[in-house]
Amino acid sequence: MASHMTQLLFTSNMAGELRKGERIPRRPLPKFEEVGSFSKAIARDGLIGTALDDTNEYGPNAMIVILMIVASITGSIILAFRYLW
């Protein structure tokens, strides 16, 4: 009884389809267009669009680039504080 109520709760409040054996419902697939290379993906959709909006197949690569940019900025700030004090 409780699992049936839980399933009704999840399927009525969350978007997507809850399949047997799954706890998290699937969301609908985003609009996806293939691109020939990473540079074309960045030129067409931008770094943020590629990384966060899943507009093409290079989303994970763009996330790594964003991670490297943020880590470099953070490291530079920490290094600057080290030499200022």
Domain range list for the chain: 1-30, 31-85
What does the buried/exposed string (b/e) look like for 16-42 if buried means 16 or more CB atoms within 10 Å of the residue's CB?
A: eebeeeeeeeeeeeeeeeebeeeeebb
Return per-residue pLDDT of the chain as tens, 85 residues.
555 555 555 554 455 677 778 888 777 777 788 899 999 999 999 999 999 988 889 999 999 999 999 999 999 999 999 998 8
User: Do 46 and 55 form a contact (C-beta atoms < 8 A)?
Assistant: no
Q: What is the pLDDT of residue 79?
A: 96
Q: How far apart are CA 60 and CA 51, in angstroms?
A: 7
Please say whether the beta carbons of 54 and 32 come within 8 A: yes
d(CA 82, CA 62): 30
